A and B are shown apart, each in its own frame.
Chain A
Amino acid sequence: MKKIGILFVILTLVGSLAVIAAQFSIYDWWTAGGEKQAITAELNYFHQLYPEIKITQNPVAGGAGVNMHAVIKSLIFAGLPPTTFQVHAGWEMYEYTSAKLLDPITNLWQSEGWTKVFPKRIQELCSYGGKFYAVPMDIHRANMLWYNMSIFKKLGLKVPTTFQGLMNTMKKIKAAGYTPLAVGDRYQWPAAMVFEEGLLAIAGPKTYDDFFQGKVNYSNSKVQKALEDFRYIMENYVNENHASLTWDQACGLVANGKAAMTIMGDWANGYFMGLGLKAGIDYGAVAVPGSQGVYNLVIDAFPVPKGLSTTQKKYAYDWLKTIASVKGQAIFNQIKGSIPARIDVPTTGFNSVQVANMKELKTDILVASAVHGSEAPAPFVTAWENALTVVQYHPSMSIEQAVNYLNAINAQYLTPQKLVH
C-alpha cells in the first residue's frame, strides 16, 4: 500500500502540473461505450462555441466515480482545483458543499433563467443552504426494467404492472428455461439497485424517502417485503455468474437473448443503442413494475470549485452555460441514453424510451437514488450495499436476523446528526 500512496502523490503532482498548464480542465468518469462518445460530442460542441479555450479532459475510470473523487479531493486540498468536475447532485455534492469546497453559482442560475426550465426537485438537489452549487447535465432514471422483446413474444408474456406481477413473470420465464433477471454485481451496486427499485415499487415514494432519512427501517412491513423479495430474486431468478459480471455485461445477456430482463438505470439505453439495437423492436423498457409514476433520479452535474483564477472561473461558467443550453442538453443526452434535465428540449432525435421518460419527468413524483449517491450520505451507502450482500449470500439467515442486522447498520449511519447537511 505504501507503493499506492507514493503513486498517488506522484499522480497528484503530475495532475497538478497538467491543471496549471491547461486552460480548461474537466474531470469525469465517463469511460464506457456510449457515455464516452457523449462527453466527447459535448466537448466538441463546447470547442465550437469557444474555440479559444484549450480543453484538457481527464477521464478517471471507476464505477460511480470512486477513483475520480479521490483525485478531485487531493487536487482541491493541494489548492489546484480542476475547472470543473462530474458530481452526482444531492448527497454526493453536499459532501463538497458542507466542506466549503465549492463556489455558489446562484447568480448564474438567476441571470440565465434556469430556475424556470429545470424541475423544482432537481433544483433542490443542485442547491445547498439556499444557494445553487451545480448545473445538471442529464437526468438518468434508476427505476427501469429492460426486457428482450423476442423472448417476451416467444413466451407470450405481457409486461407486468405490479412488483408481484414481476415476480410471477420471472417464475414463468425460469420455467421456460431462460434466466429471468440479469444482474452483474461484481461491484455490489447493481444488486443494491434490485433492492432499491423493489423498495420504491413495493413501498412507494413516501416510505422510500422515509427509509433513507432514517424514519422507518426494515421492521416496516413493506420494507421487509421488499427485502424478502430481493433475497428471493437473488437466490432464484438471477444468472448464475452474476458475481463475475459488471452491469454492462449483464445487459449483454439481455441483448443476446440469454436473459429476459434486467433492472438497471437508463444508461443501459446508451449501452443497447451502442450495440445497434432498436428500442421498441429489440428491447423494451418500462418503469420497474409497481413504480409507475415515480421517477428515481440520478443527476450528473457540474460544479465550480473554490479557488479558481478569474479566467478559469469564466471558462467554468462558459461550460455550465453550454451544458445547460437546449442544444447542449440535446447533444449529450441523445447519445448518452439519458434525458435532458431541462423540460423544454424538443423530443426530436431521442429514441422511444427517452421520449417516454421526457414526458414522464414532467408529471411523475421525483425521488433520488441512494445507490447513486443522491439520496443518502456516502458512508451509509457503502455500508448498506455491503450489508445487503451479507443477507443475500446467507440464505440461512432468518428474515428476523436479517432485519435486525440491517436495522443496526441503518441506526449507525442514518442518525439525525449524520443526516444534517
Chain B
Amino acid sequence: MNKRSFEWIGFILPSVIIVGTFVYAFIAWTVAVSFTNWNTLLPNWSFAGLSNYFSLFTNNLRFRMDLINNFTFLPFFVLGSMVLGFFLASLLNKGVKFESFFRTVFLLPMAISLVVSGTIWVWLYDPTNGAIDVLLKAIRLPTINWLGSMSFALPAIIIATIWQYTGFTTSIYLAGLRGIPQEIIEAAKLDGAHGFRLYWNIIIPMVQSSTVTAFVLMVQLSLQMFDIIWVMTSGGPAFATDMPAVYMFIAAFKQNFVAQGAAIAVIVFLLTLAVVIPYLFIAGKITEEES
C-alpha cells in the first residue's frame, strides 16, 4: 500500500463515522425497537416478535387506508411531476429569452419550505374566499370544498406536491437535455425526424438516466410524504389524506406506541428499498452503456 491509499481513508473516515452513526445505526435501532413491546412511554425491551407488524396488517383500518392513499398518490405525483418537468425543461432548452429567469421561477417552489407552501395552498383551497374557488366562480364552474371533502382532499394534495417538486424534475431533465450532443439532434433532423418522432425516438431515450434518477427520487419522496400533509390536513378528513409517515409520527409521539411507530418506519423503509435497489442496478447498467 502506498501513501495515497491511506490519504483517502483519512478523507472518507469522518463521513463514514457520521453516516454510520446517524443513519445506519439509527435504522438498526428502529428495526430493533419494532420487534419489542415498547408501546408505552418507558422503554420496554421484551421481545414481541412480529406482533407490531401483524397488528398493522390485520386489524388496522388506518394503516390500510394509509397504504391505499400512498399508492394512489404515488403514480399521480410521480408521473405528474416528471411529465411536467420534462415539458418545462424542453421549453427552456429551446433557448428562450430570459432562460435563467424562468429557470429560477420554476425552481423557486423547491426552495420554499413544505410548511410554508402547505400553508399557502390551504389559503388557495379555502372554499369561501380561496383564490382557486374564486376563479372557478368567475368562470361559472361549481366550487369545490377541496380539503374538506373525502374525494377532493387527496387530489388537492397531489396538485400541491406536483407544484412543489416540478422545478426539481425540470432541473434534472434540463441537465439531461443539455448533455445530448447537438450533432445527434442535427443528424436525426437530417434523417427526417421532427417534432414528436424526434422526441420519442431520440431525445427521450437519450435522457434515460435523468428519467431513472427523477423517478427514484420522486417515488422515494412520495413514500415518505409528511410535512405538507401534516400542515394541510394532518391526514384528514377521516384519513382521506393520511399516509404512513403521518401515522408513524402520531403513533410514536402522541400515542406512545413507539414500537408500532418503528414498525411503520421499517415498512416505509423497506418499500423505499424496493425502489432504490433496482435503481442502483439500472443506473449502473446505463453508466456502463454510456461509457
Contacts and interface: CB of A to CB of B under 8 A. Distances in A.
Interface stretch (A21-29, A295-303, A376-384): A376-384
Given A1-B268, A241-B148, A382-B254, A186 B122 contact: yes
B250 A1 contact: no
A20 interface: no
Contact of B23 (A6, A243, A390): A6
Given A2-B26, A390-B239, A394-B238, A243 B245 contact: no
Given A1-B248, A6-B22, A95 B147 contact: no
- The secondary structure that dominates the B interface is loop
A186 B234 contact: yes
B253 A244 contact: no
Contacts of A393: 150, 237-238, 240
A2 B257 contact: no
A381 B86 CA distance: 46
Interface stretch (B7-15, B96-104, B125-133): B125-133
A256 B110 CA distance: 36
A99 B10 CA distance: 45
B226 interface: yes
Contacts of B27: 2
B213 interface: no
Contacts, number: 96
B41 to A, nearest CB: 5
A173 B252 CA distance: 43
Contacts of B233: 186, 243
Interface stretch (A48-56, A65-73, A274-282): A65-73
Given A1-B248, A9-B22, A99-B42, A244 B240 contact: no
A5 B145 CA distance: 35
A390 B238 contact: yes
A187 interface: yes
A383 B226 CA distance: 19
A4 interface: yes
A75 B22 CA distance: 18
Contact of B41 (A9, A66, A95): A95
A239 B256 CA distance: 34
> What class of interface size applies to chain A in its complex with B?
35 or more
Contacts of B126: 241, 244
A55 B257 CA distance: 34
A2 B150 CA distance: 30
Contacts of A242: 148
Contact of B145 (A9, A67, A99, A241): A241
Interface string B125-165: 11110100000000000000111101001000000000000
A73 B252 CA distance: 12
A147 B147 CA distance: 26
B157 to A, nearest CB: 13
A239 B127 CA distance: 10
A383 B237 contact: no
A66 B253 contact: yes
A96 B41 contact: yes
Q: Which of B153, B234, B253 is packed against the most chain A CB atoms within 10 Å?
A: B253
B62 interface: yes
Contacts of B109: none
Nearest to B41: A99
A187 B268 contact: no
A244 B265 contact: no
Interface in A354-401: 378-379, 382-383, 386, 389-390, 392-394
A254 to B, nearest CB: 15
A112 interface: no
> What class of interface size applies to chain B in its complex with A?
35 or more
Contact of A386 (B62, B125, B145, B226): B62
A1 B125 contact: no
A344 interface: no
B234 A5 contact: no
A243 B147 contact: yes
Q: Which of B42, B62, B240, B254 is packed against the most chain A CB atoms within 10 Å?
A: B254
B224 interface: yes
Interface in A244-262: 244
Interface in B221-251: 224, 226, 232-234, 236-240, 245, 248, 250
B255 A379 contact: yes
Nearest to A246: B122
B128 A389 contact: no
Contacts of A188: 234, 236
Contacts of B239: 386, 389-390
A67 B233 CA distance: 17
Contact of B245 (A1, A6, A99, A390): A1
Q: Which of A185, A187, A240, A244 is packed against the most chain B CB atoms within 10 Å?
A: A244
B237 A243 contact: yes
Interface in B68-126: 122, 125-126
A317 B61 CA distance: 46
Nearest to B148: A243
Q: Which of B23, B41, B234 is packed against the most chain A CB atoms within 10 Å?
A: B41
Contact of B237 (A2, A378, A389): A389
Interface in B250-281: 250, 253-257, 265, 268
A9 B234 CA distance: 23
Contacts of B265: 1
A243 to B, nearest CB: 3
Given A1-B248, A393-B240, A244 B127 contact: yes
Interface in B33-86: 40-42, 61-62
A382 B250 contact: yes
A4 B145 contact: no
A101 B226 CA distance: 30
B116 to A, nearest CB: 14
A240 B26 contact: no
A352 B154 CA distance: 45
7 contacts: A1-B226, A2-B26, A6-B26, A66-B254, A186-B147, A243-B233, A383-B255
- Report the 3 A-B pairs with minimum CB-CB distance, sorted nearest first: A243-B148, A393-B238, A379-B255
Interface of B: 22-23, 26-27, 30, 40-42, 61-62, 122, 125-128, 130, 145-148, 150, 153, 224, 226, 232-234, 236-240, 245, 248, 250, 253-257, 265, 268
Given A188-B236, A244-B148, 9 more contacts: A66-B253, A96-B41, A240-B127, A240-B128, A240-B148, A244-B127, A379-B256, A379-B257, A389-B236
